[in-house]
Amino acid sequence: MPSYAPSAPASLALPRRHSSYFPVVFSVLFLLTFAGSYRLAQVQPLLLFDAEGRRNIWKFVAGMFPPDLSWSFLSLLGRPILETIQISIMGTVVAVAIGFPLGLLATSSLTFKGILNERELANSRPRVLLRKTSYLLARAALSLFRTIPEFIWAFMFVRAVGLGPFPGVLAIGIAYAGMLGKVYSEMLEHVNPGPLEALQATGASKLAIIVYGLMPQALPNVVSYTLYRWECAVRASAILGFVGAGGIGQQLEISMRMFDFSQVITLVAILFVMVAGVDALSARARRAILGRQRV
């Protein structure tokens, strides 16, 4: 134990406060960015209120009423609505199928870091290199998948496989695989490592550790996030119709192009009900899972 000399008035000398310019610099930069964006993005709120703008808005809103609820129009919608839901479900399934394995590879605590790899990778540079490479490749693939918006993916897949729901499924599958894989890997990395270490010490293989230690711990979050993504997929699959990838969006695009706003409002209302329904459904599923967890 070091002894503290009582003679020196040590308590009076406050520890030096670390002052830095970073907060100031960042604040100034932020203000400049904001001002620049305001100009460059041509933000002109008054445009909404000038004579021309008001006239257009009025035309749009007035055209919406009364909503088109004629049977001849509604009977057209059954198939697109079903198609939208199916695209979202199949798209999410494809996204999980691609995203989950990539997510595992992109989990550093599984591939090359931490207690699960310390012994295995000790004094073996080639193995470390191999593991790191696969980790980086998985990360790169995932970020490529998600930086390209699903809309662009759909555009490309329509060119590749033709019009219809299938390019929509592929677009959601690929774009969402990127998001799911990234988030899965983060969830898996933050699982309590203690049980994993214990499983490893019993001689369990890595796959067994994933099944018995990792998944049971991460499952509530994984399921809940996947359901959330499914909700997003319903919204997205409604939009994908704009580039010819089937679903209710195709109908929406036709009605908009024909300035038939009374049909547009009907379609928007249907979309709203669909998203709200999916929302309620997944909230219920989530509660069931999380609730069971607390018992």
Partner 1 sequence: MYQLNQVSKVFGGRTIAVDDLDLKVRRGEKLALIGPSGAGKTTLFRMLNLTIPPTSGTLLFDALNVSSLHGRRLREVRRRIGTVYQQHNLVPRLQVVHNVLSGRLGAWSIWRSVRSLIRPQEADLAYEALSQVGIPEKLYDRTETLSGGQQQRVAIARALVQNPEVILADEPVSSVDPALAAGIVKLLIELSETYRKTLIMNLHSVDLALAHFPRIIGLRDGKISFDLPAAEVTDEHLAVLYAGSQTEIGEEVPSLAELRPVRSCQPRLTT
Sites of contact with partner 1 (CB under 8 A): 1, 115, 118-120, 122-124, 127, 187, 190-192, 194-195, 197-205, 207-209, 211-213, 216-221, 293-295
Token pair 């999380």: residue: 290
Shorter beta-carbon distance to partner 1: residue 127 or 286: 127
Cα–Cα distance measured from residue 110 to residue 266, given in angstroms and rounded to the nearest whole number:
49
Q: How far is the CB of 274 from partner 1 (least distance, A)?
A: 29
- Gyration radius from the chain CA atoms: 27
SS3 294: helix
State how far the Cα of 231 lies from the Cα of 81, in Å rounded to an integer.
15
At closest approach, how far in Å is the CB of 23 from partner 1?
19
Residue 156: alpha-carbon gap to chain centroid: 20
Residue 72 vs 293, nearer CB to partner 1 = 293
Write down the least CB distance from residue 26 to partner 1, Å: 19
Read off the amino acid at residue 130. L
Compare residues 46 and 201 and give the one whose CB is closer to partner 1.
Answer: 201
Q: What is the DSSP string of 90-129?
A: HHHHHHHHHHHHHHHHT-HHHHTSSTTTTTTTTT-HHHHH
Structure-token pair, residue 264: 């547009």
The two three-digit tokens of residue 225, written as one number: 């996030």
Minimum Å gap between C-beta 50 and partner 1 is 46
Nearer to partner 1, 67 or 193 (CB): 193
- For 39, phi then psi, to 5°, come to -70, -50
Which residue lies nearer to partner 1 by CB, 117 or 263? 117
Contact status, residue 135 vs residue 223, Cβ threshold 8 Å: no
Query: Taking the complex as a whole, how short is the minimal distance between the CB of residue 97 and partner 1, in angstroms?
Result: 18
Smaller CB distance to partner 1: residue 32 or 290?
290
Please report how close the Cβ of residue 204 comes to partner 1 at its closest, in angstroms: 4
Q: Report whether 172 contacts 233 (CB < 8 A).
A: yes
